[in-house]
Chains A and B, each alone.
Chain A
């Protein structure tokens, strides 16, 4: 029996929506830039591997709920400390800040995980 609990599916949908929003703001331009910047791509890959270890469970990758929660925590705390998400067109991707690369990695994981 595969349960489809209402509360869980609502959370899942909310997490997917948040990740889609993040992909629009950060992930899509970031990954597009990484396609032309191998260094950025390598950094994103390393961040993604770290996140997979950090958030994923033993046998599976991180779930959308975990990824969205991580991105929320990251942005909330950074926002409390004075950091704002830059506009995508204003980012110099060759000098992208650590937090931004981290968020791009979150989007990459969200795009690649099947859960």
Chain B
């Protein structure tokens, strides 16, 4: 009986020893954890205050307010140096937490904090994108509104342009931080495709008729020019034919009253060997045919048949 009591006592003692050991093993870690947290928190607060003071001393607020940030911060409780100090504070706090939880070895909280820390630069870039986009948008709105101030739709146009730029910036920022990429990208593409379609139909549709008129002019021009070329060629060959007839060495007295053979071939080039087309037989080699010194005499017109009437 006493044996069993002794054994039980021994077991109890071992358990208590285990308990103490694990507590003693745990205590330094917990102490270190708390110390790190406290020190980090203190450092963070000191840094926040220091950054705030230094920035205010340097004149950061005034420099920032000269930009467009003042309007953005107008409704918040902080001024710019406050904001920067607070950012520093939370950053230091985050690193402190990471360090403190690192004591416990791999654990889910550390993973979470690491993920947040890794994500922070992208969030920063996204914020910068939004701020820059807002600044550009306000500048564009100012420029457009001033340039088109005389137009009734100038203000509307300026607002539309500004919101378009802000929308682009927002979508870019959301893409940057990886939020709703599957939603924003199709929306962006749809909006851009809509604008492109409006441009194509509106601008391109307006260009259909001028282009048509231009084509008409070109074809008309080509037609007129080819007509002129054909006319010139026809007249040229007619002239050649007449000259050949006139220069023929021996003017055989062709029947002067012979009518023209057929209708005058207007469209076809005159063959070289036929007589001039319109009722005009071989001309004499000279004019007038018999020498006559009398200037007022009615010169004979042999060889000149009267022109065919009724053309």
Residues of A at the B interface (CB closer than 8 Å) are: 1, 3, 5-8, 11-12, 15, 36-40, 42-43, 46-47, 49-50, 52-58, 62-63, 65-78, 81-83, 94-102
A42 engages B247 (CB within 8 Å):
no
Q: Which of A75, A78, A94, A98 contacts B295 (CB 8 A)?
A: A94
B299 engages A69 (CB within 8 Å):
no
Beyond A5-B224, A8-B221, whether A73 also contacts B239 by CB under 8 A is yes
The total of chain B residues at the interface (CB under 8 A) is: 55
A102 engages B246 (CB within 8 Å):
yes
A1, A7, A42, A54: residue with the most chain B Cβ atoms closer than 10 Å: A54
Nearest A residue to B291 by beta-carbon distance? A95
A66 engages B231 (CB within 8 Å):
yes
Q: Which of B217, B228, B238, B239 contacts A65 (CB 8 A)?
A: B228
Q: Which residues from A are CB-within-8-Å of B307?
A: 46, 49-50, 52-53
Beyond A39-B297, A54-B276, A73-B239, whether A46 also contacts B287 by CB under 8 A is no
Segment of B38-46, B71-79, B277-285 engaged in the interface with chain A = B277-285
Beyond A42-B298, A73-B235, whether A1 also contacts B216 by CB under 8 A is yes
Nearest A residue to B229 by beta-carbon distance? A11
Please give the distance in Å from B296's CB to the nearest CB on chain A: 7
Report the Cα distance A69→B227, complex, angstroms: 13
Please give the distance in Å from B231's CB to the nearest CB on chain A: 5
Q: Which residues from B are CB-within-8-Å of A49?
A: 306-307
A66 engages B221 (CB within 8 Å):
no
Report the Cα distance A71→B239, complex, angstroms: 6
Nearest B residue to A100 by beta-carbon distance? B287
Beyond A50-B280, A65-B231, A97-B286, whether A72 also contacts B236 by CB under 8 A is yes
Beyond A8-B228, A69-B234, A73-B236, whether A43 also contacts B247 by CB under 8 A is no
B243 engages A54 (CB within 8 Å):
no
Nearest A residue to B225 by beta-carbon distance? A7
Q: Which of A11, A37, A54 contacts B238 (CB 8 A)?
A: A54
Report the Cα distance A101→B278, complex, angstroms: 17
Q: Which residues from B are CB-within-8-Å of A43?
A: 287, 299, 301, 304
A50 engages B247 (CB within 8 Å):
no
Q: Which of B240, B285, B286 contacts A77 (CB 8 A)?
A: B240
A-B CB pair tally, cutoff 8 Å: 172
B52 within 8 A of A: no
Q: Which residues from B are CB-within-8-Å of A94?
A: 288, 292-293, 295, 299
A96 engages B287 (CB within 8 Å):
yes
Nearest B residue to A76 by beta-carbon distance? B240
Q: Which residues from A are CB-within-8-Å of B222?
A: 5
A95 engages B235 (CB within 8 Å):
no
Please give the distance in Å from A58's CB to the nearest CB on chain B: 8
A8 engages B225 (CB within 8 Å):
yes
Q: Which of A3, A47, A74, A82 contacts B239 (CB 8 A)?
A: A74
Report the Cα distance A50→B242, complex, angstroms: 12
A95 engages B286 (CB within 8 Å):
yes
B311 within 8 A of A: yes
Q: Which residues from A are CB-within-8-Å of B276?
A: 50, 54
Beyond A66-B234, A76-B240, whether A98 also contacts B287 by CB under 8 A is yes
Apart from A5-B224, A55-B238, 6 more pairs, CB < 8 Å: A5-B221, A36-B295, A39-B299, A69-B239, A75-B243, A76-B236
As a 0/1 sequence over residues 224 to 262 of chain B, the CB contacts with chain A under 8 angstroms (1 = contact) are 110011011111111111111011000000000000000
Q: Which residues from B are CB-within-8-Å of A101?
A: 287
B149 within 8 A of A: no
Please give the distance in Å from A34's CB to the nearest CB on chain B: 11
Please give the distance in Å from A49's CB to the nearest CB on chain B: 3
Nearest A residue to B301 by beta-carbon distance? A43
B220 within 8 A of A: yes
**Would you list the 6 A-B pairs with minimal beta carbon distance, nearest first?**
A39-B299, A73-B239, A5-B221, A49-B307, A69-B235, A74-B239
